[in-house]
Structure 1
Amino acid sequence: MNDELKDFAFLPLGGTGEIGMNLNLYRLNGKWLAIDCGIGFSGNDMPETDILLPDPEFISRHKDNLLGLVITHAHEDHIGAVAYLWPDLECPVYTTPFATSIVKRKLREAGLLSEVSVRTIKMADRFKLGDFDLEFIPVTHSIPEAQSIVIRTPYGTVLHTGDWKFDPEPVIGEKTNLETFAKLGQENILAMVCDSTNVVVKQAPQSEASVRRSLTTLIASLKGRVAITCFASNVSRIESIAYAAKQVNRPVVIIGRSLRNLEVSARENGYLKNIPPFYTEQNMSDIEQNNIVYIITGSQGEEKAALTRISQDLHQHISLGSGDTVIYSSRTIPGNELAVKRVQDNLIRRNVKLITSKTELVHVSGHASYDEVCQLYKLVRPKYGIPVHGEWMHLNAQANVARESGAEPILLEDGDILRLAPQNPTIIGSAPYGRLVIDGNRLLSVDDDILAARRRMLYNGVVVASFAVNKKGELLSDLNLSAPGLFDQYDEEFGDVVSEFSQILETLPIAILHDDTELIENSKTILRRILGRKLKKKPFVDVHLIRI
């Protein structure tokens, strides 16, 4: 083995400098460990796609030395990309029982279940992958069985926190055991790689139990149907909603495939055990319609989600209006603000009452606040603090916490290779990283020519010209021009474009008229110039030539 591979290094390929798409790598003497493999949402700047994935190109080149993928918890931004990216990783997957249920369902749907070794690790267990000595530490989060990971190596120990908070009154699972972290702090921890999502909030939020009590009071005060939207993977919140509905004798209907799958996985693992089975769209006609509580997907304004379609009165089974209430029991992920506002405006236009966390206690974050992050630093006492899982404002805020706590902060971004040991931590290079999008049954880079063309068509339109010529290049018929979204074909301006284009074609040199390739390329250039003058836009232009 080369001397340069005898080290301990950290490399984020997703989730550092952004929200979501978490994919973190550790290298120990040439062998790799991956932690989490999640999706992200594209937001308003990429309307041509909904879901983003981290690009695994770098670790794919080293997959022969990849010992395994360890999942901290089953939220989509940590587990949602596994079924898409596993063919690039081809390694065993290690998860807790609940996450095992989630990831196996995703792999089954992708036709990969028989190929992937999914190995279940009990909460708080300690296990080894090669020379990586790993230990799970259960932490409170908004989903069952969230785990921090202690990574012990011959060079030192790192705490990879995953997503966590110190909820004094969780509704699912136990409170985070502070004594466990205090004991860990006695081991001379080299570094803490820590969640930064909520560190810009000063005080710890109220507990999930407080939200449960608030929802119970709120739902009891409402008339008509109540629809509550939240993240489909937030089992704690779903149980809180169901509990609140149960207290006021309201039946609960879950709307959305992801929610139905989540219910199955939760009940398989002993969660929701005191909650009656939920109704679905298929059997909700059996219950009193005006007394229903819907739990529904679409809290981020996703175009195809159930709540978006309901707001547009396009849902097959549900129509909300005057007398009904929609509760947003979630936060808006940065970048989704316009999409969420659009859905909310549509609901208000339909006379639906709207309730959000701005006016009622209907949501608390599952991530640690400033005060909680300070407390964890004091317990663990790492030599270095490495912020991840957040945009730059979050990373920088946690760096300040690390500094205040006596740790030396190290700010990274995706692609930075940080050698943690044996020398002092140093960025020693960079790895290729990027973002992929799901396009039907394929994955494309966000920089792919296909998506670039799609963006251009989205903002500038598309124009297709078709015409037939004889061997001499003479037009044999009228020019056919299609420009949907740019012109009405009966507009005088549209006729002017067709006429000018035809006249210029007839004046082209004979050498161009006789060469199909030259004629097509020149036709595109001519059409772009005409459209640029007329529209002050640069639409995507294509030309279909028929030579007879």
Structure 2
Amino acid sequence: MTPKNNELLFCALGGSGEIGMNVNLYGHAGKWVMVDCGVTFADAGFPGIDVILPDLRFIEEQIDNLVGLVLTHGHEDHIGALPYLAEDLGVPLYATPFTAGLIRGKLEEERIDDRVKIKLVEANKAFDVGPFKFTMVPLAHSIPEANGLVIETKSARVFHTGDWKLDATPLIGKPSTPEELRAIGDKGIDVLVCDSTNVFNAEASGSEADVRRGIAETVAKAKGRVLVTSFASNAARIATLGKVAEETGRKLAVAGRSLDRIIRVAQATGYLKDLPNLIDAETAMRLPRNKVLVIATGGQGEPRAALARVAEGTHPIKLDEGDTVIFSSKQIPGNEVAIGRIQNQLAAKGVEMVTEKQAHVHVSGHPGRPELKSMYEWMRPKALIPVHGEMRHLKEQARFGLSNGIAHALVQTDGDIVRLAPNGPEKIGNAPVGRLVLDGDVILPSNGSTINERRRIAVNGQISVGIAVDRNGRAGGTPDVRVQGVPVEEERDAFLEDAIAAASEAMRGAPRDRERLREQVRLAVRRVATRWTGKKPVIDVVVVQV
């Protein structure tokens, strides 16, 4: 679909109907521009997979019409797919310095930094990307340089919020004032494309300064070592913890590669300049227990992150009875089991744990209802398009926007092509969407044969059967049977005897056609497995000519 000269189109390829993997397209005058290109993280339904990528085939099939990729900020669900997809897109990336620094590090790790062009842009200064005019508008969030976007075309003027909140006392950065945001609305906004994550929250998200007081009070009460876990990208929280360490007389250590990277990029771009000198793990372990504050990754239960290894006792940072772990982040739905596992390990050590339920140790980076209402009043859009949320979030923000005087609200999901102007918003078509998985170094369809086979093996186990045939195709000898993940445990030997007997019987008088022979043996062994276990393992039959 090629956008007409007089229209403005919108299409989400990720992030609408889900939280994470944000990818948005705007189309005008025959061209498309992409806003953000993020990842989401896999759950137990994708064994062996950590990262899920958006399927961009819709825009890849008309790649000559893509003019650029604009990044609102540096969170993984907005930039995480770039190391794997940006080179193939073949267009410049537009980002402010901190976000560009994070992207450049990712591209360097993949050794493609010389093949992807990053164009630095300044906040509040307009820049052109094909037929689109963009202006980055600084907004508060949990990472430096989060920006909303004013997108101007001949057909319409859009304010795309990205991720945002209101914070009158931010510790990092200078978000736009209410007066500056109202001035944008005064020029006329046709469509507000808005973050929906916290639409059910009746209260405003709160200020980072309030969290600083809450964490400081919690740390001051602690008698042993204190470890605080938060999202590595939350540079404002890192700044908070630096101040808390100084106020409570503790030395500051960090544990986690992603924390090291965030601090390095932040300091290179002018942030975290007053962070106290950091100590290493060895020094931290030599100091009195009440003189140490550690920042660590892994608050969402990630198995390879620093906190998981601390809980297991395999990290240089050690925690024991009387120490404290502060979970300074919101539990993401789906991570409950992984987080609970780590908390149980910590509890077994006698470690005290503090979450946002026990103390004011976290604030969200997304807008609650009072903040959304303020943004509506400042922008005064003709229409609202909720994004960045599951269906329940999108529907609720549409209702909330309409109840606060916005004339039109349209709920779209990934793949819906929406005409924003003229005579919009209106759904006019559908784009193919889907998910890709990063499996080791290979990108595959999330619903392809590899992942489906892996799920079957994970659920049912696998049996390998080796049989021999002579040059005339006659089967003979004793089959070799190997079992993995099939629940036979203590009766393994008896099961193998039964499986070998069934395979041998199937071989006798079997056809000389190898495929028919293979299938006959496969079915015979599977019948044995089902009789023994009630499951249907994956059966692989290997025929070897001798």
TM-score normalised over the length of structure 1: 0.95
Matches within 5 A, 1:17-416: 17-281=17-281, 284=284, 287-288=287-288, 291-315=291-315, 317-407=316-406, 408-416=408-416
> Secondary structure of 2:168's partner?
coil
- For structure 1, which segment, 274-283 or 157-166, has the greater mean C-alpha deviation from structure 2 after superposition? 274-283
2:294 and 2:519 mapped to 1: Cα distance?
Answer: 56
Greater mean alpha carbon deviation, residues 92-101 or residues 38-47: 38-47
Give % identity: 40
Aligned amino acid, residue 278 of structure 1: L
Q: Contact 2:2–2:31 at 8 Å: present in 1 too?
A: no
Shift of 1:393: 1.5
Distance 1:282 1:394, change over 3 A: same
Which string of whole-angstrom CA distances, capped at 9 and with x for unpartnered residues, describes residues 184-235 of structure 1? Answer: 2223311100000111101103211010111112111102111111101000
The CA distance in 1 between the partners of 2:395 and 2:450, in whole Å, is 35
**Residue 104 of structure 1: CA displacement?**
0.7
- Shift of the 474–126 alpha-carbon distance from structure 1 to 2, 3 Å rule, reads closer
Paired amino acid for 2:536: K
Check whether the contact 2:23–2:34 (CA below 8 A) recurs between aligned residues: yes
Find the residue that maps to 2:115 and give its secondary structure: coil
- Taking structure 1 as reference, are residues 71 and 505 closer, same or farther at Cα in structure 2, changes over 3 Å only? same
Q: Which amino acid aligns with 2:513?
A: D
Residues 1:322 and 1:287: Cα distance change in structure 2 (over 3 Å): closer
Deviation string for 1:104-149 (max 9, x for gaps)? Answer: 1111111111111111111222111122111111111111111100
Distance in 2, matches of 1:272 and 1:297, equals 18
Distance in 2, matches of 1:334 and 1:454, equals 24
Change beyond 3 A, Cα 1:434–1:242? same
Cα offset, 1:374, TM superposition: 1.2
Look up the equivalent residue of 1:394 and give its one-letter code.
H
Specify which of 512, 515, 523 is matched with residue 513 of structure 2.
515
SS state at 2:279 partner: coil
Q: Alpha-carbon deviation of 1:491?
A: 3.4
Closer, same or farther: CA 459–291 of 1 in aligned 2, 3 Å: farther
Give the Cα–Cα distance (whole angstroms) in 2 for the partners of residues 422 and 108 of structure 1.
Answer: 42
Deviation, structure 1 residue 485: 4.6
Matched, 1:534 2:532: yes
- After superposition, residues 423-442 of structure 1 pair within 5 angstroms as 423-442=423-442
* Pair 465,280 (structure 1): closer, same or farther in 2 beyond 3 Å: farther
Contact 1:63 1:91 in 2 (8 A): no
What CA RMSD, in Å, does the superposition of the two structures yield over aligned residues?
2.0
Of 40-49 and 200-209, deviating more is 40-49
Tell whether the 8 Å contact from 2:473 to 2:514 is kept in structure 1 after alignment.
no
C-alpha distance 369-73 of structure 1, shift in aligned 2 (>3 A): same
SS in 2 for 1:33: strand
Q: Return the offset for 1:175.
A: 4.3
Q: What secondary structure sits across from 1:231 in the alignment?
A: coil
Report if the CA contact (8 A) 2:70-2:93 is conserved: yes
Equivalent pairs counted in the alignment come to: 544
Task: Please state how far the C-alpha of 1:86 moved relative to its aligned partner.
Answer: 0.5
Higher alpha-carbon deviation: 25-34 or 278-287: 278-287
Q: 1:468 to 1:359 in 2, by over 3 A?
A: same
The letter of the residue matching 2:343 is Q
Q: Which structure 2 residue ranges, 5 or more long, are not aligned?
A: none
Counterpart amino acid of 1:519? Answer: L
Whether contact under 8 Å (2:26, 2:34) holds in the other structure is yes
Question: Within 1, Cα distance between the matches of 2:145 and 2:539?
Answer: 53
C-alpha displacement of 1:477:
2.9
Letter in 1 for 2:357: K
- Residue 70 of structure 1 and its aligned partner are, at CA, apart by 0.7
> What's the TM-score, normalizing by structure 2?
0.95
Report the more deviating stretch, 358-367 or 243-252.
Answer: 243-252
**Equivalent residue, structure 2, for 1:481:** 482
- Cα distance change of structure 1 residues 415 and 280 upon mapping to structure 2, 3 Å threshold: farther
Matched to 2:520, the amino acid is: N
Structure 1 unmatched runs, 5+: none
